[in-house]
Structure 1
Amino acid sequence: MKILVATSKPFAPAAVEGIKKVLEDAGHELVLVEKGTKDDMIAAIKDCAGLIVRSDIVDKQVMDAAPQLKVVVRAGAGYDNIDLAQATQHGLCVMNTPGQNSNAVAELVFGMLVTLIRNRYNGKSGTELKDKTLGIHAYGQVGRNVARIAKGFDMKVSALDPWVSDEKMIADGVTPVHDLKELYRNNQYVSLHIPATDETRHSVGKELFELMPHDGVLVNAARKEVIDEQSLDQALADRDDLRYVADVKPDIADQLVEKYGDRVFFTPKKMGAQTAEANINAGLAAAHQVVAFLKDGTNRFQVNK
């Protein structure tokens, strides 16, 4: 069977070679479209049984062009670039590769945070993370890695996640929190890791941000859609001690930088998964998942119904 890897942001060469070997060892053929457009994907997918993407959009138009398609795997944790409802209607299995990028994203959280609190290394005195409080909003794979690294900084870590038991957090040396406002109110730093869903879009803004202690910093390595950008803008205007840093550039990024200067920091492109290790891990995981599904229907990480 043909398996299409369509990535406008390509995998590392080592990852492509690894994906190719996994697929060919299982008797499949790799079809590769790198740095292509959506039209390129549509042209290549017509006789493919599997599709592996990164952040590329997979919608009804793509699915309609793929009558033989059976499985789509997003090489990464987030999957809001795939229309799940349409996939279900088309009889497709959609999977992600949770955990493969999690350490890379967690390390970037602290890279951005240290850059911010050290004043971008401009020669002026900054501050340290030791003994500071960190709240983790969602304690999934990335959140757990953030907690692990934070403990290395000797930070005091708490987390909120209704899907994770108190016992699990306590075993990790993390204090469980059950009230969202309490999480923001009691932590100088909050690291945001919720997915973009109908329930979470625009759910974090002025009301939560302004609860944070003096010199509060909100770090977003999740999705820009979970932020109420206009509301966050107002919070930054109302309190000149608050700061915001994100790996997901807001739609109003230029406006925020112009108004608040060094109090905000954004990576120019989403960089969380942009390490050689994460790139290879996610690509190989995606390839193995496609092979397993086509062989015997294994769908452990299916995200649609």
Structure 2
Amino acid sequence: MTKVLIATTKPFAPVAVEKITDILKTAGYEVILLEKYSEKKALLEAVADVDAAIIRSDIFDREVLEAGKNLKIVVRAGAGYDNVDLPAATENNQVVMNTPGQNANAVAELAIGMAIMGLREMFSGKPGGEMRGRTLGLHGFGFVARNVFRIARALGMEVIVYTRYSKAAAAAIGLKVTHSLEELYEKSDIISIHVPARGEHLKSVSYDVLQHLKDGSIIVNTARKEVVNEPDLVKIMEERPGIKYMSDVTPDCANLFEEKFNGRYFFTPKKAGAQTAEANLNAGVAAAEQIVAFFENGDKTFQVNK
């Protein structure tokens, strides 16, 4: 019998676990549940004899992947998958998938919420501003960015985008595509970052780009901290006292923000973009369905390691 491990230090909502389990058991699979584990040893033991695993932010490094002697597929319930060692999985002939788009609306709503929070001076009682009439710049144009566009347009914003790979898709829905990242940052009142933490995107938010910001701009990062060059961000915030940084991930230099930029930043205590009941359910169900499709039909549509 095919064994599927659900390994989550941050568990799925009970209703999501129930639906995931129903999908897998209906397919004739055995389900092993490992929740809120505090030691890696527990994960190593649990993965030892399973055929598949569904995870969230759980770390599947080389040691864990090699401990899974029968492991054929790992599905990260969510868009990001930097918590899985892709080269190690490929070497072990293990397929790694994500569930793109399932958390997109949840993350987009958080991005808009943080932008509003920044404009309203952190709800401190100081006079703030409104979204309507301002220009929102999308740094990247994946599933989350497309949902941010939908919401921002409803708020009466002008939306522009910089993307290398989705120019036609952006233009087709009426988005103005800038010629460069520098142009995007120069023309935007609010920047919303939506690029993965890999390749050319690592530290792409650098001083060369940030220096084009207007003073008074707001940067919203619901992606990963690795896409921002943190020393460069600190430098530009020192030079431009009106810039704010709102992030769904605490930067490594958080102590400098606390020391230097009171009232100009906000960091969620934990990455919260996908922390809604709806996103939780959508991503978990998609992960279970992808595992069944993989074993029953050889479907590798959402594979992220080649």
Q: Whole-Å Cα distance in 2 between the matches of residues 255 and 214 of structure 1?
A: 20
The reply on whether 1:145 has 2:177 as its aligned counterpart is no
Deviation at 1:115, TM superposition (A): 1.2
Q: Whole-Å Cα distance in 2 between the matches of residues 139 and 276 of structure 1?
A: 25
2:90 maps to which of 84, 88, 91: 88
Q: Whole-Å Cα distance in 2 between the matches of residues 120 and 184 of structure 1?
A: 22
- The CA deviation string for residues 252-286 of structure 1, in whole angstroms up to 9 with x for no partner, is 11221221011111111100000000000000000
Counterpart mapping for 1:80-229 below 5 A? 80-166=82-168, 168-229=169-230
Counterpart mapping for 1:212-291 below 5 A? 212-291=213-292
Alignment check: 8 A CA contact 1:2 1:28 kept: yes
1:44 maps to which of 43, 46, 51: 46
Q: Whole-Å Cα distance in 1 between the matches of residues 245 and 206 of structure 2?
A: 11
Query: Which residue of structure 1 lines up, in the alignment, with residue 64 of structure 2?
Result: 62
Counterpart mapping for 1:10-29 below 5 A? 10-29=11-30
* Number of residue equivalences: 304
Deviation at 1:199, TM superposition (A): 2.2
Q: Whole-Å Cα distance in 1 between the matches of residues 165 and 53 of structure 2?
A: 30
Alignment check: 8 A CA contact 2:118 2:218 kept: no
Deviation at 1:52, TM superposition (A): 0.6
Q: Whole-Å Cα distance in 1 between the matches of residues 235 and 135 of structure 2?
A: 24
Q: Structure 1 vs Structure 2: percent identity of aligned residues?
A: 48
Q: Whole-Å Cα distance in 1 between the matches of residues 93 and 179 of structure 2?
A: 38
Alignment check: 8 A CA contact 1:134 1:190 kept: yes
The reply on whether 1:301 has 2:305 as its aligned counterpart is no
Alignment check: 8 A CA contact 1:133 1:157 kept: yes
Q: Whole-Å Cα distance in 1 between the matches of residues 236 and 122 of structure 2?
A: 22
Q: Whole-Å Cα distance in 2 between the matches of residues 163 and 285 of structure 1?
A: 25
Q: Whole-Å Cα distance in 2 between the matches of residues 209 and 264 of structure 1?
A: 16
Alignment check: 8 A CA contact 1:38 1:57 kept: no
Q: Whole-Å Cα distance in 2 between the matches of residues 198 and 129 of structure 1?
A: 32
What's the TM-score, normalizing by structure 2? Answer: 0.97
- The CA deviation string for residues 79-123 of structure 1, in whole angstroms up to 9 with x for no partner, is 111111000000011100000000000000011111121122222
Deviation at 1:295, TM superposition (A): 1.3
Q: Whole-Å Cα distance in 1 between the matches of residues 177 and 256 of structure 2?
A: 36
Q: Supply the AA of the counterpart residue of 1:165.
A: K
SS at match of 1:18: helix
Q: Whole-Å Cα distance in 1 between the matches of residues 18 and 252 of structure 2?
A: 36
The reply on whether 1:5 has 2:36 as its aligned counterpart is no
Moved more, 95-104 or 57-66: 57-66
Q: Whole-Å Cα distance in 1 between the matches of residues 179 and 142 of structure 2?
A: 15
Q: Whole-Å Cα distance in 2 between the matches of residues 164 and 292 of structure 1?
A: 28
Deviation at 1:148, TM superposition (A): 0.4
Alignment check: 8 A CA contact 1:209 1:218 kept: no
Alignment check: 8 A CA contact 2:215 2:240 kept: no
Alignment check: 8 A CA contact 1:188 1:214 kept: no
Consecutive unaligned residues in structure 1, runs of 5 or more: none
Deviation at 1:302, TM superposition (A): 0.4
Q: Whole-Å Cα distance in 2 between the matches of residues 225 and 127 of structure 1?
A: 30
Q: Supply the AA of the counterpart residue of 1:73.
A: V
Q: Whole-Å Cα distance in 2 between the matches of residues 241 and 207 of structure 1?
A: 18
SS at match of 2:51: strand
- The CA deviation string for residues 274-304 of structure 1, in whole angstroms up to 9 with x for no partner, is 0000000000000000111111210100000
Alignment check: 8 A CA contact 2:4 2:52 kept: yes
What's the TM-score, normalizing by structure 1? Answer: 0.97
Q: Whole-Å Cα distance in 2 between the matches of residues 121 and 247 of structure 1?
A: 18
Compute the RMSD of aligned alpha carbons: 1.0
Q: Whole-Å Cα distance in 1 between the matches of residues 208 and 245 of structure 2?
A: 15
